Amino acid sequence: MSWSARGLSLLLLNAFVTAVLVVIALLHRAGPSDDGVRVHWLVQSQGESTRYQSHFKLPASTATQALYIESLSGAATIYLNGTVLAQRHIPAVVPALGGSQPMLVPLPSALLHTTGNELAIEQAGAPSTSTFIGASYLGDEALLAPHYAQRHFLKHTLLIALIIATLVLAGVSFALWLRRRHEKIYAWHALTCVAGSAYCALPISPLPLPSIWLDALLLLFFLWFVVGAAWLGICLASKPQPKTWQRTTYAVFSSSALIVIASLFCTPQDFRDAVPWAYMGIIAIGTYTTATVFWRQYFTRWDNTAFWMLGAVMCICMVSLHDGALLLGLIAPDDGFWLAYGAPPPVVVFTALLLRNFVNALTESESLSRELEQRVAAREAQIASNYQALQRAESDRVVSAERERLFGDLHDGLGGTLIATLSRLSNEGAGDSAVALGVQTALEDLRLTLDSLNPEERSLRAVLAPLRERLANVCADAEIALVFSLNSLDDDFELPKSQTLHLLRIVQEAAMNAVRHAQGSSLRITLHRIANDEGVKQLEVLIDDNGRGMPTSADARPGHYGLANLHRRAMQIGGGIEWLSLQPGTRVRLTLPLV
């Protein structure tokens, strides 16, 4: 935002604040000019008391007459023709501070004389310099009552409502501070609210205290309110230096001590005379400090916070201006200090900012803790998976090493012997004998066992590959066209190790049977996944030849070792095997349930 735009915004804010204050002023000033007759008082000082006197004639109206005083300070007794009409007990504080309250006193017709009447107000214990009486009117009670009600609302009801609301805020802040001692800002907020409320409540509370004590208490509350508000603003704006904090503490406590000492040793009149200057000092220093700090902090940046803080400060400055003028005697003290009306907006702003900070901190801490939880969970999962991978790698390594050792042993031992035997049989012309066939089968079985032991080759396709190669060679020798169809099998399709070896043996044995006995010209081996009638997933293995077909069914030849063997192997892995006739040829169909 550019500087001119900032200026304009501030100007608008200023205008708004001024308008609000003008409305308050107009409400205060709305006197009953047409609804009553202005009363002119004669002031008489009687030592430590003051007496106001006025004479009037009974008007022609027959309605109930009343006396309406816009503002009157301190305790008072009102007489009509020598008879006590009303008594009021409120503390006699410095009138400028807001101790003046409106009064509406009905004049009983029985006491009124047609010839002439005397009204008198006595204020015991208050010299005329310390009392104040605002504009007063005589007239029809029904007409004057609304004026009184409006002013009573403004000077009493509204004030009490504001005080209660502020005290509630103070309670919340204090509770927060108790839980979070290191966040002093909540304590400052509570102090500001309590001091402000006490300051506003004291003049309208019927406390039976000597007037000098009341004045001193008011001054103390005012001091703490200003200091609390300034410090709260500074804390909200930036992180203050500990040195600043120390100095402020010294200043506040020494000022407070000074006020207490002065109230103990000065005469009430001297103290009362000094009070306006003390207020002036507090207002001046407080306003200056707050304004400069805020100006420095908030005018250099431009965001919502800055806008509202500057608005709040402006509000305080305007009110201070009015109250300062009041203290200097430039304005009649009809209305007293406006602080009570000027303070709530900044307090609301401060509270809102404080709440926002609190909520932000809460949200951030929640999101951080959530993030932490997620990170911990992810890390745990990673560690677990790493651990599993490690375990698997370790077990693979062990199996691999063992398999390598087995290869070495079998290469020189059993394998070598089988090969030598096979070679001897072949060299002696018995290469096709049953013995040679048995030795060859044993060798092939050994190879299958070793193939199935490879820990790195888990996918069925990869495990089948060596068998495919060997079968391809056998088929090439026998001039049989071999087709392996694995297209519908995923690359990473795996079977449990216990099933794999049996499956390899079944495929090898069925295929070798076809090569040796079927006398066909083609052999097709198909593996694919299917679902049976009940929807159970299965692996289906088909070994099809186009040879002469089976002489009889498998069941009819229970003694046939090869077929019984295939049957047994299929049963062992929970599968089923069947022999089907093709035209021409035979199909061996193995089904294996997949878990």
Partner 1 sequence: METRNRVLVVEDEAQTRERLARAVSADANLELCGTAANCAEARVLFAEQRPQAVLIDLGLPDGNGAALIRELIAVAPETLFMVITVFGDETHVVEAIKAGASSYLLKDASALRVARAIHEMFEGGSPISPAVARHLLQRMQVPSEPKRAEPAAQLSARERDVLLLVAKGYAYLEISEALDVSVNTVGSHVKQIYRKLAVSSRGEAVYEAVQQGLISDLSSGRPH
Q: What is the rounded distance in angstroms from the CA atom of residue 86 to the CA atom of residue 103?
A: 10
Q: What is the rounded distance in angstroms from the CA atom of residue 62 to the CA atom of residue 251?
A: 62
579 makes contact with partner 1 (CB under 8 A): no
Candidate list 13, 58, 285, 465; residue touching partner 1; CB under 8 A: 465
Beta strands in 40-194 (DSSP E): 42-46, 49-56, 65-72, 76-80, 83-88, 101-107, 117-123, 136-140
Question: Which window, 7-15, 303-311, 345-353, 452-460, contacts partner 1 (CB under 8 A)?
Answer: 452-460
CB nearer to partner 1: give 145 or 450: 450
145 makes contact with partner 1 (CB under 8 A): no
CB nearer to partner 1: give 390 or 472: 472
Q: What is the 3-state secondary structure (H, E, C) of 186-197?
A: HHHHHHHHHHHH
Question: Which window, 65-73, 446-454, 545-553, 575-583, contacts partner 1 (CB under 8 A)?
Answer: 446-454
Candidate list 477, 533, 534, 555; residue touching partner 1; CB under 8 A: 477
Pairing outcome for strands 76-80 and 117-123:
antiparallel
Cβ neighbourhood burial of 406 (10 Å; 0-12, 13-18, 19+): middle
With residue 527 as reference, give the H or E element that holds it: strand 522-531
Candidate list 484, 514, 563, 573; residue touching partner 1; CB under 8 A: 484
Question: Which window, 97-105, 261-269, 308-316, 413-421, contacts partner 1 (CB under 8 A)?
Answer: 413-421
507 makes contact with partner 1 (CB under 8 A): no
**Min separation Cβ 546 and partner 1, Å:** 20
Give me 258's structure tokens. Answer: 């000074």
**Min separation Cβ 530 and partner 1, Å:** 20
Question: Which window, 171-179, 202-210, 352-360, 461-469, contacts partner 1 (CB under 8 A)?
Answer: 461-469
Residues 123, 50: contact at Cβ < 8 Å? Answer: yes
Beta bridge partners of 588: 543, 579
Q: Which residues contact 335 (CB under 8 A, 6 or more apart)?
A: 25, 28, 71, 98, 100
Torsion of CA 234, 235, 238, 244, to 10 degrees: 70
Candidate list 152, 180, 184, 468; residue touching partner 1; CB under 8 A: 468
534 makes contact with partner 1 (CB under 8 A): no
554 makes contact with partner 1 (CB under 8 A): no
Total Cβ atoms within 10 A of residue 149: 13
**Min separation Cβ 461 and partner 1, Å:** 3
| Most distant pair of Cα atoms in the chain: their distance | 166
**Min separation Cβ 391 and partner 1, Å:** 20
Question: Which window, 31-39, 156-164, 182-190, 470-478, contacts partner 1 (CB under 8 A)?
Answer: 470-478
Candidate list 140, 334, 445, 457; residue touching partner 1; CB under 8 A: 457
**Min separation Cβ 518 and partner 1, Å:** 19
Torsion of CA 376, 378, 379, 380, to 10 degrees: 80
Site string for partner 1, 415-434 (x = CB under 8 A): xx-xxx-xxx-xx-------
The DSSP code for 35 is T
**Min separation Cβ 358 and partner 1, Å:** 52
516 makes contact with partner 1 (CB under 8 A): no
458 makes contact with partner 1 (CB under 8 A): no
Q: What is the rounded distance in angstroms from the CA atom of residue 111 to the CA atom of residue 82?
A: 10
**Min separation Cβ 472 and partner 1, Å:** 8
CA 437 → CA 257, 442, 444, 466, 512, distances in Å? 118, 9, 10, 20, 11
Question: Which positions from 350 through 409 interact with partner 1, judged by CB under 8 A?
Answer: 404, 407-408
CB nearer to partner 1: give 494 or 540: 494
529 makes contact with partner 1 (CB under 8 A): no
Candidate list 34, 491, 534, 555; residue touching partner 1; CB under 8 A: 491
Candidate list 476, 536, 564, 580; residue touching partner 1; CB under 8 A: 476
462 makes contact with partner 1 (CB under 8 A): yes
Nearest to 326 by CA among 311, 338, 315: 338
Pairing outcome for strands 65-72 and 136-140:
antiparallel
CB nearer to partner 1: give 371 or 409: 409
The DSSP code for 47 is T
CB nearer to partner 1: give 215 or 509: 509
Residues 440, 422: contact at Cβ < 8 Å? Answer: yes
Q: What is the rounded distance in angstroms from the CA atom of residue 591 to the CA atom of residue 503?
A: 10
Q: Which residues contact 110 (CB under 8 A, 6 or more apart)?
A: none
CB nearer to partner 1: give 6 or 403: 403
CB nearer to partner 1: give 486 or 542: 486
**Min separation Cβ 430 and partner 1, Å:** 12
Half-sphere exposure of 523 (CA within 13 A, CB side): 26
Question: Which window, 369-377, 466-474, 499-507, 547-555, contacts partner 1 (CB under 8 A)?
Answer: 466-474
**Min separation Cβ 585 and partner 1, Å:** 23
Question: Which window, 16-24, 128-136, 140-148, 447-455, contacts partner 1 (CB under 8 A)?
Answer: 447-455
Q: What is the rounded distance in angstroms from the CA atom of residue 179 to the CA atom of residue 187?
A: 11
* # residues contacting partner 1 (CB under 8 A): 42
34 makes contact with partner 1 (CB under 8 A): no
Give the position of tokens 């800002």: 185
Estimate the crossing angle of helix 268-298 against helix 304-327, to 10 degrees: 160
CB nearer to partner 1: give 479 or 555: 479
Q: What is the rounded distance in angstroms from the CA atom of residue 174 to the CA atom of residue 188?
A: 9
**Min separation Cβ 180 and partner 1, Å:** 53
Give me 467's structure tokens. Answer: 């068998």
The DSSP code for 139 is E
Residues 64, 142: contact at Cβ < 8 Å? Answer: yes
522 makes contact with partner 1 (CB under 8 A): no
461 makes contact with partner 1 (CB under 8 A): yes
Question: Which window, 318-326, 333-341, 346-354, 459-467, contacts partner 1 (CB under 8 A)?
Answer: 459-467
Q: Write phi, then psi, for 545 (nearest 5 degrees).
A: -120, 165
What is the contact surface with partner 1 in residues (CB under 8 A)? Answer: 404, 407-408, 410-412, 415-416, 418-420, 422-424, 426-427, 440, 443, 446-447, 450, 454, 456-457, 459-466, 468-470, 472-473, 476-477, 484, 486, 491
